[in-house]
Amino acid sequence: MTDILPFLKSMISVSGVSGYETAVAKIIEDKWRPLVDEVSLSRVGSLHGLKRGNSADSSKNSGKKKQPSILIATHMDAIGMMVSKVSDGFLHITAVGGIDVRVLPGAFVTVHASNAEELPGVIAMPSAKLLPESVNGSEVLAIDYLLVDTGLTPREVERKVKVGDLVSFANEPMELADEVISGHTLDNRSSVAALTVCLEELQSKSHVWDVWAVATVQEETSYLGAYTSAFALRPQIAIAVDGTFAKGPGANGWQTHPMGKGVGICMGPNMHPYLHKKLTDLATKLEIPWFLDVTSAHSGTDAYPMQVTAEGIPTALVEFPIRYMHTPVEAVSVKDIRRAGRLLAEFIASLEGDFVDSILWE
């Protein structure tokens, strides 16, 4: 298995704000093409990679049913910003997806200007005396009061930047100790990396089921990619791969989990209990460290739209902990990414041709 870190770094070094994922989709396509049999784009821009099952091992289905398939969904879009107003050479912004505004002041960004020029910028916080009297400048400012400074003159800004232009985070990824990487957009390109590990592992494994590797669009804003890909591909079962909350400063409750200590397998109304049990039993058998994550409602991931597509698709959710979610300095353990990829590959290899007939609500 190759080192997945360079690929992950390449993905989080480009833009791909929700709804505008073309740049990162190209990087993923280049990586996946040698690992799958077919690559295509959906009508809305999600990337589909099909790795066919071994027909020699699927004799039970020969002449009876079409080849069963599993969809593994990882979203490739990112949170970001959009220009909402241009005033006196500075850019007002609004959020695309959920952004933790506490860490925005001082962030390095790229303004994707209408003329295709990429302008470096920094998010600035105005002096408290320049804010309206109703705003407490000593508290966290709403994004409405933050400004992007490109260094250009007002006239140049007016000429180059338009309302609706995108703004993305621009800080470079940083390797921390113990195989931890920090940077923007690790949610959820880390999951794309985990799925890539899975595809690499499958190169040396026999598997009966067809595998749809999918990098979805617009998870952060509408789940568009997961809804449409699940409907178009109609897999028998599906697994979403995404981050969950890691323990860290001020985050130590039951909804957080240690980073670098294993893979999360989520349970709740969004997940099928039979698939959950199969994944947990397999992780235990293979001695892959795992922890139980629970949710009392739908998971807020691509697992939800896949579960409720068409007649309903039995769905599971595999996770790994991320610190500082939805900030430019998210952090994740590469060890957990590899573990998630291995678990996915082993699960796919374990699926027998008639597995779907055994799925019961118990």
Mean pLDDT, 10 residues at a time, the chain of 362 residues: 90 96 98 98 98 68 73 98 97 96 95 93 86 74 94 96 97 96 96 98 97 98 98 98 93 90 96 96 98 93 97 97 96 98 98 92 72
Query: What pLDDT does 141 receive?
Result: 87
Domains 5-78+184-358 and 80-169 share a fold: no
Query: What pLDDT does 135 receive?
Result: 77
- Quote the pTM value: 0.94
CATH superfamily of 5-78+184-358: Zn peptidases (3.40.630.10)
Contact 349, 209 (CB under 8 A): no
Of the candidates 214, 267, 176, 228, the one whose C-alpha atom is nearest the C-alpha of residue 40 is 214
Tokens of 349: 């290899």
> Cα separation of 160 and 278, whole Å?
54
Within a 13 Å sphere around the CA of 305, how many CA atoms are in the beta-carbon half?
25
Query: What pLDDT does 137 receive?
Result: 64
Query: What pLDDT does 73 receive?
Result: 98
For tokens 């979610």, the residue is 325
Three-class DSSP category at 15: coil
Helices within the chain (DSSP H only): 5-11, 22-32, 154-160, 186-202, 224-233, 273-285, 303-307, 334-350
What CATH code is assigned to 80-169? 2.40.30.40
Q: What residues contact residue 238 under an 8 Å CB cut-off, 6+ apart?
A: 70, 71, 72, 73, 230, 303, 306, 307, 313, 314, 315, 316
> Cα separation of 79 and 97, whole Å?
5
Helix (H) or strand (E) holding 48: strand 47-51
> Cα separation of 316 and 267, whole Å?
8
Residues 191, 193, 199, 201, CA torsion sign: negative
Q: What residues contact residue 279 under an 8 Å CB cut-off, 6+ apart?
A: 265, 316, 318, 343, 347
Contact 14, 21 (CB under 8 A): no
Domain ranges of the chain: 5-78+184-358, 80-169
Query: What pLDDT does 56 receive?
Result: 44
Q: What residues contact residue 302 under an 8 Å CB cut-off, 6+ apart?
A: 73, 74, 75, 216, 219, 223, 225, 226, 240, 242
Residues 7, 45, 270, 38, CA torsion sign: negative
Of the candidates 92, 35, 41, 300, the one whose C-alpha atom is nearest the C-alpha of residue 188 is 300
Q: How many residues does the chain have?
A: 362
Q: What is the distance of C-alpha 312 from the center of its chain?
A: 22
> Cα separation of 166 and 272, whole Å?
38
Residues in a beta bridge with 211: 51, 70
Query: What pLDDT does 115 receive?
Result: 84
Beta-carbon neighbour count of residue 19 at 10 Å? 19
One DSSP character per residue, 208-242 reads SSEEEEEEES-TTTT-HHHHHHHHHH--SEEEEEE
What CA–CA distances, in Å, run from 269 to 203, 235, 281, 299, 356? 34, 20, 20, 9, 19
Query: What pLDDT does 64 receive?
Result: 55
